[in-house]
Structure 1
Amino acid sequence: MLISTPWGISQKIYQLGLGILEIQTLVHGGIGVPFSLRKKFPQAFQRLLESDWALQDGEYFWFERDQNFCIPVIAFPFIAKTRDRFLDAIDTLRDWHPDLYEALYGVKLTPANSYLLHIESVGFGDS
């Protein structure tokens, strides 16, 4: 079965459970979570799903495999498959989505413990 994804036509599809898919394409990949699972995401992630940030196609929410895989893995820990992958997801959320991490865990991050906050604090990429 091939499906269309934000990264092109799927080359490989792995069923992770509850209709959640891990997709590989020729150029990229990610995780697709069916819309029917929307309410199963933590409250801290709900606003994200309603925003333009979330890749959607009417059937799935799509999360790219680099910095965004952490969102479905934290929402549905069983798809991590290993403890290390789950811990990597938590680290990735802290580094690349500090606002979501703070909302989920009730902590305040600083540039010392979040990569994105660090690069923003030093003006990385500013002219």
Structure 2
Amino acid sequence: MSATSPLYGKTRDGLCAALVGEQAFAMIPSEAGYHFVKAWGLKRPIEDWTIADFHDGRTDPVDEVSFRRTVDEWATHVSQLANLNRRTVSLRISTPWGESQHAVVYTDGIVALSTASHGGFLLSPDRNRLVASRLRLADGCYEEDCAWVAVATAYPDLFTDFEKRHADDILAHVYPEAWEARHGKVLQPGQSRAKDRSRFDRDNADRLVVVSAIQSRQHPGSIECIAILGGRRSTGVSEPAGEERRYLVDEALYDIGAFGFIIDEARDRRYAGPSSFVGWTEA
């Protein structure tokens, strides 16, 4: 068995688990069934692992089929990574995120940099010219949270299948126009958070959207809300804030959903009494 082939087994407490190189995985019980957890560098055999060995970072529910699919995908990623010839080098330069502490050269003109707080890719001018215009940044600096997908999109041969799938997901959710141009398809509701957000803002431009909420001390069982037309806070002199209005909403009915709670003026009660918000004063 190669170092990147998954090894499956059961932990001491009966959990489904796997090992790929130094990376350990397991399924642990949750209210929704099971979720995916990880650990690094477990030296004992799988049958000696326990739930206490893993980082309990909550994820979407998984079953054994999706667990094995995720582990197999990671094993393929590790195998492909070994064939990409990325080089770690010492490189101390100034970046938009601070002085670099660590650098990985993907190829000439494409370097991934990390700093004490953040990081991202730095592209040479020649490399940057090949980035899609919708995603291109003039300085060639692409931060590691979202903007890095511009590099993966322009230079797919430098990334693993796992990284490219992750980049494509970010592209759809954060840069939907670029995703649609790349794939020649239109993202439907639920497939792009950015498009869904724009749709929400457009559909509720003339409705009161909650921008702050707190449990009411004065009215137990109610949520005290501050709402603004369209949920638009001030972005400066060119776009002043809308009028802030307070409402009391039944706690059982308060669900912010994906982008915000919409005040029902026929149901929710306009409120002008003592506030639970620190420092609140009537205009």
Q: Indicate which of 45, 50, 69 corresponds to 2:148.
A: 69
Q: CA deviation at 1:21?
A: 0.4
Q: CA deviation at 1:109?
A: 1.6
Structure 1 residue ranges without an equivalent (≥5) = none
Q: CA deviation at 1:89?
A: 0.5
> Which residue type is aligned with residue 78 of structure 1?
D
Structure 2 residue ranges without an equivalent (≥5) = 1-90, 202-208, 212-230, 233-283
Give the structure 1 partner of residue 197 of structure 2: 119
The separation in 2 between residues aligned to 1:47 and 1:74, in whole angstroms, is 11
Q: CA deviation at 1:68?
A: 1.2
Structure 1 residue runs of 4 or more that deviate by more than 6 Å after TM superposition: none
Structure showing the higher helix proportion among its residues: 1
Q: Secondary structure at the match of 1:40?
A: coil
Percent identity between matched residues is 27
Between the two structures, name the one with larger relative contact order (CA 8 Å, sep ≥ 6).
Answer: 1
Q: Is the 8 A contact 1:55 1:63 kept in 2?
A: no
1:6 aligns with 2:96: yes
Within 5 Å, give how 1:48-63 maps onto structure 2.
48-49=135-136, 54=137, 56=139, 61-63=140-142
| TM-score, normalization by structure 1 | 0.80
Within 5 Å, give how 1:21-60 maps onto structure 2.
21-41=111-131, 45-49=132-136, 54=137, 56=139
Root-mean-square deviation (CA, aligned residues, Å) is 1.9
Alignment size in residue pairs: 115
Cα distance change, pair 28–55 in 1 and its aligned pair in 2 (3 A): farther
